[in-house]
Amino acid sequence: MDKLKRVLSGRDAEEPSSLGEVIDATSLGWGTRVKGFIACFAIGCLCSLLGSCLLWVPRKGLMLFAVFYTLGNIASIGSTLFLMGPMKQLKRMFEPTRLIATIVMLVSI
């Protein structure tokens, strides 16, 4: 379990002790990260579901769908930032093997 925590938090390699202490002091604990992930993912799913339901509202339905569905997708994708951290997430998203998928996803949003 500790290995999984280190991989997801971006601490694969051993760091110097002073840098490690600074990172530990400024980063979220594992329990807080999981709670943030669950909350953000639940909000994202709720917004996406609400957007799908609002699609059937007369006149403004399509606009409400687009807004809520987009916010839901952003929140769901953003929820993984809690597990890995923002910089590691961005580095992985823009790796050569994932670059095309990332660009298509960002353009679609």
| 12-24 pLDDT per residue, tens | 555 455 656 655 6
Euclidean distance between CA atoms 41 and 36, whole angstroms: 8
Q: What is the pLDDT of residue 86?
A: 85
Give the rounded distance of the alpha carbon of 15 from its chain centre. 25
Helices (H), the chain: 2-9, 17-26, 30-54, 61-84, 86-93, 99-108
Query: What are the residue boundaries of the structural domains of the chain, listed by start?
Result: 17-108
Q: What is the pLDDT of residue 27?
A: 74
Task: Please check whether residue 23 is in contact with residue 11, taking contact to mean a CB–CB distance below 8 angstroms.
Answer: yes
Q: What is the pLDDT of residue 29?
A: 82
Those residues whose C-beta lies under 8 Å from the C-beta of residue 75, and which sit 6 or more positions away, are 40, 41, 43, 44, 47
Q: What is the pLDDT of residue 95?
A: 94
Euclidean distance between CA atoms 58 and 60, whole angstroms: 6
Q: What is the pLDDT of residue 73?
A: 93
| Residues of the chain falling short of pLDDT 70 | 1-26
Q: What is the pLDDT of residue 98?
A: 93
